Amino acid sequence: MMNSTFQDSTRTYGFPPLLCEEPRILILGTLPGGESLEHRQYYYSSSNRIWKVLCHLTGEPMPVDYTQKKALLAKYHIVLWDLPASSLPVEQYLKGCPGSIIGSVCFNRISQSVFSLSTKQVLLRSGLMVSGRPTPLPS
Tens digits of per-residue pLDDT, 15-42?
Answer: 999 988 888 888 888 888 888 988 999 9
Q: Which of 22, 47, 51 lies closest to 35, judged by CA?
A: 47
* pLDDT (0 to 100) of residue 21: 85
| All structural domains of the chain with their residue ranges | 12-127
Does the pLDDT value for residue 82 go beyond 50? yes
Does the pLDDT value for residue 86 go beyond 90? no
Cα separation of 40 and 133, whole Å? 29
User: For 12-127, which CATH superfamily applies?
Assistant: Uracil-DNA glycosylase-like domain (3.40.470.10)
Task: Please provide the DSSP assignment of 91-130 as one string.
Answer: HHHHHS-TTHHHHHEEE--HHHHHHHTT--EEEEEETTEE
- Band (108; pLDDT cuts 50, 70, 90): confident
Report pLDDT digits (tens) over 41-81. 999 988 889 999 999 999 999 999 999 999 999 999 998 99
* pLDDT (0 to 100) of residue 135: 41
Please tell me which residue in 5, 7, 48, 92 is annotated as part of the active site.
Answer: 48
Cα separation of 88 and 12, whole Å? 6
Is there a contact between 72 and 60 (Cβ–Cβ < 8 Å)? yes
Q: How far separated are the first and last CA of the chain, in Å rounded?
A: 40
Report pLDDT digits (tens) over 109-132. 876 666 565 656 555 554 433 334
Q: Is 48 a catalytic residue?
A: yes
